[in-house]
Structure 1
C-alpha cells in the first residue's frame, strides 16, 4: 500500500500540529446549527406517519451541506414506537440491478412470508433468490410498499435512504413508485440526494442550503482549536458558502501562516474536492493496513462485517485496524460498517491508485460466497482484472442474463460491456459488445449505445456488421429522431436477410412501423419504399404464421391500400387468435391490433388487445406492456367505458414512471376529448404538436387534430372543429386516426355550410372502407357519415341503420352520437315528438359513457324541443374523488380489499380508508348498499 501512502503525503505539506486536533464527533445532534426549519419539517413528516398518514420528502443539497446530519438528528428524535430503517447507496453499485432495494429490504425479508404470493415472488426474483422472469415493476413496488407497511407494525416506520443519487435505476424507480402510493400505511420515507434527480422530480422536496452567516461563524469557531484572523474567517465563510462540512474540515488543512493572515489561502479547486482533500489529510497518520481496511469498506457498500473480516484476512489486515479506523472517526460499526460521512467513502476510493483498488476488489471477490451473491462476486472480480480473462468475462455474461431476467436492463448492459472488455476472442468480444449496445438501447441510453457501437468498427462477420447497422439506426432514431432512420433500418433488414431471416423480418417490421409513425414529418416516400421492399422480400411467401402474415399485410396496407390488404390482414388476425403466442410475438401482435382498426375488424381488435395484455403481463415483457395497454384503452373507449380507459391510462403512467420508457400521452388526450374537457385537450394538443416536431413523429399531429375536432364537435364549436379536422384530409390514405378524423370533418363541415368539403371527405372515407356488407363497423361508420349529407327518408334510413349497427357491434358512444345527430335533424324538420325520443336516448347513453360534451349538447337540443326535463340534481357520487370512485366501483363488483389494492396499486389499508370515506359520503353502511348508491352506468 505504499502508493496510497505516498498519495496521502502529497495531499498537504502543512505542519503536523495543524491537522492533529481531535476530530469533531460525527455530527452530534447538539451541534446542528441553523437547521430548525428543516428539522421541523422532517419531524412533522414522522408525526404525520404516527397519526396514520404516510409521506415522503426528498432532501437535496450539495455534498457536506448537512443532509446526513439532519438524518442522524431525525433518527435520534423519533422516539419510541417508530422503527427506523436506514441505508446508504453507493456509487460503485449503480450498475447492479436492485442493489439499493436489496440493502433497504434485506433486513425486512423475514416478513416477506406474510405477503401475497405474487409480491413475495417479485421480491425474490428481484433479489436473485429464485429463477424466474423479470417481476412486474408495479407488483415489485407494491411488494416493497407492503413490506415497509409490515415493518411499521402497530407503530410507524421511518425509512431513510442516504446518497439516493447513487441508487441503481430499478431501485430508484421502484422506491419512487412506492412513495407515490403511500397513503395510510404509517410510513415516513426520507431520501437524501446531492442534486435534483429526475427520477424523483414529482415527489415533495426539502432543499438544504448553506448556513446563515451567524450560524456559519459559530460553527467555524467551534471547529478551531485556537484563534483565527478575522479576515481569514470572512474568507472561509465566503468560500464555504455556509457548507457545514467545509467549515469543519477546511480549517484543518490550513497551516499557522494561513490561519493567521490568509496567505496562499486562495484555491481554484472545487469545494467538494477541497473537502475531500481535507478529509484525506486527516487520515494520513493512520497505518497503511488501516487505510487498506478503509479502502475495503469503501469498495463494499453492503457494510457486511463478516465480508469485511474475510477480505481483510486475505490481505493480512489485523482486527485492531478496525479499532484504529473507529478511533480516527472514519468508520462507524453498529451492526453494519459505515462511514462517518459519505464523502469519506468517495474520497478514500477515488484517492486510491488503480492497483490498490484492484487488490481490494480481488479480496472482496474471494471473500464473497458465490452461491449467495454471484453477481457482486463477478463485479468485484471484474474490477480486479485488467488483462482479458474468459472465466471472468463468462461470469459477467451470466450476471447480465440474471440482471435482465430481473428487469435490470441497464445493469445487464453494464455487465456485458465489462465482459466484452475482458473477452480474449475478438469475434466473441464483438458479439458481447453488440449485446451490450442493444441492452443500453433497451434501457433508454441511446447515446451510450452509439458509444459502444463506435468501438466495434472492426467487425469480422457480415452478421455482426448487419446487427451493428440495425442497432445504429435504432439508436440514432431514438436519440435524434433521425428522418433517415426508416431507410437505415430497411438497409439493415436487407443486409440481415441472408444471415438471419427472422431478425431481418423483425427489422423490416420495425422500419415500417417507424416510417408509419414518422409519416408526414419523415423522409418523403419512405413508407411506400419500405413497403415495396417488404413485398419484394416476401414475394411468393406462403407462410401461414401470424407474424409473416401481418408483416406482408401491413406492407400491403401502406402500398396498395386496405382493399388489397384486407384479406391478408384478416388471415393474420385469425392466426393471432388461434396460434400459441409468446413474448417474441407481442410486437407483431400489437401491429396486428393496429391493422385490425384499419380493416374495420372490431372483434379482432378486441380479441388481440385483450390477449396481448394477458400475454405481456404473464410473461413480464415490460417494454411492450404499456403499448399493449394503450391498445386496450382504445378498446375500452369503443366499449363506452371511459372510467376503465382512464384507469388503464393510470396504470400506463405508473409503469412508465417506473421503467423510464417514454410514451406520448395519446390515451389521455382522447379521454379528455370524449369527456368534453376542451381546455385540457387544447393544452395537450399544443404539447403534442411541439413534441411531434421534436420527436419527428407525424402521428402525434394526427392525434392532436382528431382530439381537437372531437372535443370541439361535442361543444358545438364547429368552425374550430373544422379547422382542426381539415388538416387530416390529405392524409386519409395513411388510415389510422387520419381516416377516422374524416367523420369529425364531415360533421363540422356540414354544420358550417361547407358542403363541398364534406362531400370530399365522404369520398375519401369511401375509398378506405370495405364494400357494404363486409364489416358492420365500416357500414355503421359510413351510414353515419352519409346520413349527415342526405335529406328526407334517405337520411332517416341511414341514421337508423347506423344506430342499429353500432348497437350490434357494442360501440355505445357512436350509437349515442348517431341518435344525437338524428334527433337534431328531426328537430330541424319540426318533428319534435320524434326528436325527443332520439335525444332522450342520446342523453342517456352519452351520459352513461361519460361523454359530457356530447351529452350536454344533446340535452340542449332536447330542451329546444320544448320537453320539460326535471332538473338534474347533483348526485352523491359526484362528491367522491377519482380514487374513491375507483375503489367503490371495484368493491361494488365484489373484490376484496386486497384484490382492489392489487388492481389499483394501493395497500389494503388504503382501500379500507377510502371505503370508509365512500360510505360516509354516500350515507351507507356496507358494501351491499353500493349497488343502489352507486349504480352501474352500463
Structure 2
C-alpha cells in the first residue's frame, strides 16, 4: 500500500489513460532517497493493463558506458529496428555496438529512439518506466528525453524517477513532480502498518527523525527494534540532525557491520559492479577467496536479493553503505578482481573503468584502456562518455603531453554536450600542463567557445586571437580554423577592431596553394576589408568563398555556414538560400541535429529578405523548437529577431515587440541580431505611420556597428521614415553607404533599393525615372515584398502628381502583393491610397489562401507530402514520429479544403 501519494498516483493514472487514448506524454518524479519514487513506478507498472511495458533502471557503475541504459530498455525489441529509416537503424545498431558505422551523430540516436518507440506503439499503446534515471548514462538520457518531448501524438507514456542530490538528469521541458515528505497522518498510518506495537517514545522518535520519508520510517523502525530477531543492531540516531538519506545509510551500514567479514567483502564486490550479473560476480569472488555461500547472511538480513542469474541490493542506499563504509583496500581489490574477470571484448569498457577504480596513482595501462573506451564511445555518438573517460584517463596518465591531449579531448567532448564549466576547466588544465603551442591554442579555442555561450561573442573572439597568435607560422590549418571562428564571433559582436586584428593575423598564414582552406581565407579577409571600409576588395574576397562553396569545394560545416552568411552580405541571396538549404538538408540526413538551427537562422533571413515570408516563418519556427529542445540557449535567444521582423511586416505589434524585447534585453549576447530586432521595431512604426519614432529606431540601425552587415538593407526604410517625418537632410545620411554596397555587389535587387531611395529624395520629375528603374529591377529579381513597397511609394507619388490612372495601377499592384504576403499594415496603407482615388477596394481575406491557415509545422509536412514523401520519410526528415506526421496531415486537410493526399499537387504551397 502507498501512503500519502494520491495526488501523484492520479497524475500517473492520467498519463497512462492518455496513452491508452492515443496521446503521448512524459512525467519526471523527483525526490530524495527513500521518498517513494520506486513505489510510484511500481504503481504505474501495476496500472498498465492494456499497455506494453518497457522497464529500465539506471545502473551507477554503467553511467560512463554510452547507451548502456538505452540498450537495457530496448534490446528486447531490436528486431523492430529493421523498420526504421536506414540511417536511424544503422545509428541505433552502432550505438548498441552491433555494427561499426564510423562516427555516429548523437542526435540521430534520439531520432531513432523516437522512431522505434513509434514503431512499437503501432502494436498498441506502451509505457516506458525508468527508475534511478539519474544513473542513466548521458547519451541514453538525451535520446529518451528527445523522444519524450516529441511523443504527443503517439500512444506512449514515459515515466522517469530521479533521485535528487546524485547524478544528473536534465529534463527541461518535461512535466516534473517533486515528491514532498509524507504528512503526519500518512506517516503515522505507514508506521502503524509496519510496527503497530512500537512503544510510544520510540514511535515519536522514529516519526521525528524520519521527517516523512517512507524508507526512513521502515528502516529506523527495523534498526531500533528488530521485529525479526528482537535484538538491537547497535545503531542509534545521531545527536546532531543529518539529512535523512545519510541517516538511512548509517542504519544500513550498522546492519552490514554485524555480518561476517567474508559477507561484507562480498557485498563490497557486488557494490563495485551493480550490473547484477551473478556469473561475473561469483567469478570475481573466487579471485578473492569468496563463495556464493557468503551471500546468504546478507540475503537473510534482507539487504539483497539473489536469483538464478542476478544479485540485487534491495535499495541503492544499501549499495552506497556497503561500498563507502568498506576499507579502501577491500574496494581496490574488488575492482581489481572484476577487471581480471572482465577480459572479453564485450566487457572492454567495464574492464577499463574497473582498472581505473583499482589504480592508486598514475597508471598507463588503465589510462590507455580508458582512452580506447573513449574512442569506442565517440564512434557510437556518446560524447558525454568520451568526456568522462578521457578526463579520468588524463588523471591516470604518466606522460604530461599525453595528459594534456586527453584533457583537450575531454574538454571538446564536454563542450559538445553543453557541460560548459567542465569544458572550460579541462581546457584550462590542459593549458597549464602542456607547453605545446598547438595544445595551448586548442585550449584557448574551447574556452572561447564557452565564453560565446556564457559571456559575449567579443570575449570569445578575443580569447581565440590571443590563443592563435603563437601558432600562425607553425600550424597554419589550425590557425585558419580558429581565426575563421574568431572573425565570425567578432562579426556577431560588431567588434570591428577584433575583425581587423584577426584579418591581419590571417593574412600572415602560409597555406599550400591548393589548400581547401584557401577560399575560406579569401572570404574572411574579404570580411575584414568590409569592416575596414574597402567594399570593392571585400566583395571580391567574400565571393571567392561563396563561389567555392557553390561549386562544392568547401566541405566543413562551419565553412559552409560562413559562406552562406557572406552570400547575404554580398547580396547574393539566392546563393545564400541554396547554400544554407543544402547545409540544413545535409544536417538532417546525417542526423547532425545540433547544426540545424545554425543553418536555419541565416536561411530564414535569406528567405525573409527575398520576400518568402511564409518560408522564413516555417524555417525559424523549426529552428527555435530544435534549439530549445537541444538546450542551445544563445541560439534560441538570438533567433527572436527573425519572428520580430516578420511580425512587423504582418502588423502584429504584440508579437513584434515581445520577440524584440527578448533579444534587446540581452543585446550584448549578439549585437547584430539585436540590431535586426531594432530594425523590426522601426519597420513596425513605419508601417503604422509613426514616422518620428521609426526614423530614430532605423537611424540606430543604419548608424550602428552592424550597418556594414546585411543590415545595410534597412537604409531604404530609414530614408522613407525620415522623408515622411520631414527630415530630408537626415534621410540622405546613409544613402552613400547603400549606393556603395549596391554598386560593388552589382545585384539588381540591391540597385533597385538604392534607386527607390533616390526616388524618395528627388524633388522633381527625376523621381519617376528612379521609380521606373527600380520596378524594372524588381521584376528581374522576383522580389514580391520589395516590389510592392516600391509600387506603393510610386503610386503615392503619382497620386500627388495627379497621374491618377498610373497611380491606381501601381497602388493596385502593391495592394495585391501585400495581401498575398500577409503584410496587413502595408496593405491597409495601399487601400487608403486607393480610396483617396475614389476606389473602394475590398479587403482580401487572409484565409482565402489555404496555406496561410496552416501552422509552420503543418506547412512543412504538407509540402513534403506534396513532393511524394511517405509519412515515414517525412518523419525522418523532420525528426518527428510518423504518427505525428499523420496528425499534422489530418489537421491540415480541412484547412486546405481537400480530403486526400493526391489532391495536394494542385495547391500552391
SS at match of 2:397: coil
- Aligned pair 1:492/2:467, yes or no? yes
Mapped to 2, the partners of 1:340 and 1:644 lie a distance apart of: 56
Q: C-alpha deviations, 1:893-930, integer Å up to 9, x for none?
A: 33222122223332222333343344455564322334
| Matching residue within 91, 105, 117 for 1:148 | 117
**1:111–1:147: 8 Å Cα contact kept in structure 2?**
yes
The answer for the alignment partner of 1:808 in structure 2 is 780
**2:617–2:646: 8 Å Cα contact kept in structure 1?**
no
The answer for the alignment partner of 1:345 in structure 2 is 319
Mapped to 2, the partners of 1:401 and 1:52 lie a distance apart of: 41
**1:487–1:530: 8 Å Cα contact kept in structure 2?**
no
Gaps of 5+ in 1: 1-30
**1:173–1:658: 8 Å Cα contact kept in structure 2?**
no
- Aligned pair 1:374/2:343, yes or no? no
CA drift of 1:760 comes to 0.3
Q: C-alpha deviations, 1:83-117, integer Å up to 9, x for none?
A: 21111223444443333322222232232122221
Residues 583-594 of structure 1: pairs in structure 2 closer than 5 A:
585-594=556-565
Mapped to 1, the partners of 2:263 and 2:372 lie a distance apart of: 35
| Matching residue within 816, 821, 824 for 2:796 | 824
**1:134–1:620: 8 Å Cα contact kept in structure 2?**
no
Residues 873-912 of structure 1: pairs in structure 2 closer than 5 A:
873=845, 874-875=847-848, 882-912=856-886
SS at match of 2:71: helix
CA drift of 1:369 comes to 5.8
**2:457–2:493: 8 Å Cα contact kept in structure 1?**
no
- Aligned pair 1:109/2:109, yes or no? no
**1:562–1:598: 8 Å Cα contact kept in structure 2?**
no
**1:531–1:558: 8 Å Cα contact kept in structure 2?**
no
SS at match of 2:27: strand
Gaps of 5+ in 2: none
CA drift of 1:224 comes to 3.1
CA drift of 1:807 comes to 3.7
- Aligned pair 1:85/2:58, yes or no? no
**1:561–1:768: 8 Å Cα contact kept in structure 2?**
no
Q: C-alpha deviations, 1:283-325, integer Å up to 9, x for none?
A: 3334444444444444445444444444444444433455554
Q: 1:641 to 1:474 in 2, by over 3 A?
A: closer
The answer for the alignment partner of 1:684 in structure 2 is 659
Q: 1:485 to 1:145 in 2, by over 3 A?
A: closer
SS at match of 1:750: helix
- Aligned pair 1:660/2:631, yes or no? yes
The answer for the alignment partner of 1:282 in structure 2 is 255
Q: How many residues align?
A: 893
CA drift of 1:235 comes to 5.4
Residues 432-447 of structure 1: pairs in structure 2 closer than 5 A:
432-447=406-421
The answer for the alignment partner of 2:703 in structure 1 is 730
Q: 1:853 to 1:573 in 2, by over 3 A?
A: same
| Matching residue within 15, 20, 24 for 1:50 | 20
CA drift of 1:42 comes to 0.7
**2:27–2:175: 8 Å Cα contact kept in structure 1?**
yes
Q: C-alpha deviations, 1:231-270, integer Å up to 9, x for none?
A: x6455434433221222223334479x99xx997642322
The answer for the alignment partner of 1:702 in structure 2 is 675
The answer for the alignment partner of 2:720 in structure 1 is 747
Residues 416-565 of structure 1: pairs in structure 2 closer than 5 A:
416-456=390-430, 457-476=432-451, 478-481=453-456, 485-519=460-494, 525-537=497-509, 545-565=518-538
CA drift of 1:68 comes to 0.7
CA drift of 1:422 comes to 1.9
CA drift of 1:624 comes to 4.1
The answer for the alignment partner of 1:267 in structure 2 is 240
The answer for the alignment partner of 1:36 in structure 2 is 6
CA drift of 1:160 comes to 0.7
| Matching residue within 172, 187, 205 for 1:201 | 172
SS at match of 1:783: helix
Mapped to 2, the partners of 1:325 and 1:866 lie a distance apart of: 97
**2:640–2:663: 8 Å Cα contact kept in structure 1?**
no
SS at match of 1:145: helix
SS at match of 2:839: coil
Q: 1:184 to 1:810 in 2, by over 3 A?
A: same
Mapped to 2, the partners of 1:61 and 1:445 lie a distance apart of: 23
| Matching residue within 121, 137, 154 for 1:185 | 154
Q: 1:793 to 1:333 in 2, by over 3 A?
A: farther
Mapped to 2, the partners of 1:614 and 1:930 lie a distance apart of: 23
Mapped to 2, the partners of 1:61 and 1:215 lie a distance apart of: 17
CA drift of 1:623 comes to 5.2
Q: 1:331 to 1:716 in 2, by over 3 A?
A: farther
Q: CA RMSD in A?
A: 3.4
**1:174–1:658: 8 Å Cα contact kept in structure 2?**
no
Mapped to 1, the partners of 2:108 and 2:464 lie a distance apart of: 35
CA drift of 1:371 comes to 2.9
TM-score (norm 1): 0.87
Q: C-alpha deviations, 1:441-460, integer Å up to 9, x for none?
A: 34333432343345442434
CA drift of 1:425 comes to 2.2
CA drift of 1:495 comes to 0.2
| Matching residue within 622, 628, 631 for 2:599 | 628
Moved more, 456-465 or 157-166: 456-465
Mapped to 1, the partners of 2:858 and 2:446 lie a distance apart of: 46
**1:532–1:559: 8 Å Cα contact kept in structure 2?**
no
SS at match of 1:519: coil
- Aligned pair 1:780/2:752, yes or no? yes
CA drift of 1:469 comes to 4.3
Q: 1:927 to 1:268 in 2, by over 3 A?
A: same
The answer for the alignment partner of 2:372 in structure 1 is 398
**1:685–1:708: 8 Å Cα contact kept in structure 2?**
yes
**1:678–1:712: 8 Å Cα contact kept in structure 2?**
no
**1:280–1:348: 8 Å Cα contact kept in structure 2?**
yes
Mapped to 2, the partners of 1:475 and 1:339 lie a distance apart of: 41
**2:594–2:627: 8 Å Cα contact kept in structure 1?**
no
Mapped to 2, the partners of 1:541 and 1:571 lie a distance apart of: 14
**1:703–1:737: 8 Å Cα contact kept in structure 2?**
no
Q: 1:389 to 1:73 in 2, by over 3 A?
A: same
The answer for the alignment partner of 1:411 in structure 2 is 385
The answer for the alignment partner of 1:13 in structure 2 is none
Mapped to 2, the partners of 1:863 and 1:346 lie a distance apart of: 81
SS at match of 1:60: strand
The answer for the alignment partner of 2:733 in structure 1 is 760
**1:170–1:659: 8 Å Cα contact kept in structure 2?**
no
Q: C-alpha deviations, 1:631-675, integer Å up to 9, x for none?
A: 222233244433433333344345434543441444443134224
CA drift of 1:70 comes to 0.9
**1:543–1:549: 8 Å Cα contact kept in structure 2?**
no
Q: C-alpha deviations, 1:187-227, integer Å up to 9, x for none?
A: 11111123497832222223322222111111123333742
SS at match of 1:525: helix
The answer for the alignment partner of 1:839 in structure 2 is 811
Mapped to 2, the partners of 1:361 and 1:655 lie a distance apart of: 42
Mapped to 2, the partners of 1:717 and 1:639 lie a distance apart of: 25
CA drift of 1:724 comes to 2.1
Q: 1:395 to 1:787 in 2, by over 3 A?
A: farther
Mapped to 2, the partners of 1:278 and 1:462 lie a distance apart of: 54
Q: C-alpha deviations, 1:369-403, integer Å up to 9, x for none?
A: 64334333322322222343333322322222232
**1:389–1:423: 8 Å Cα contact kept in structure 2?**
yes
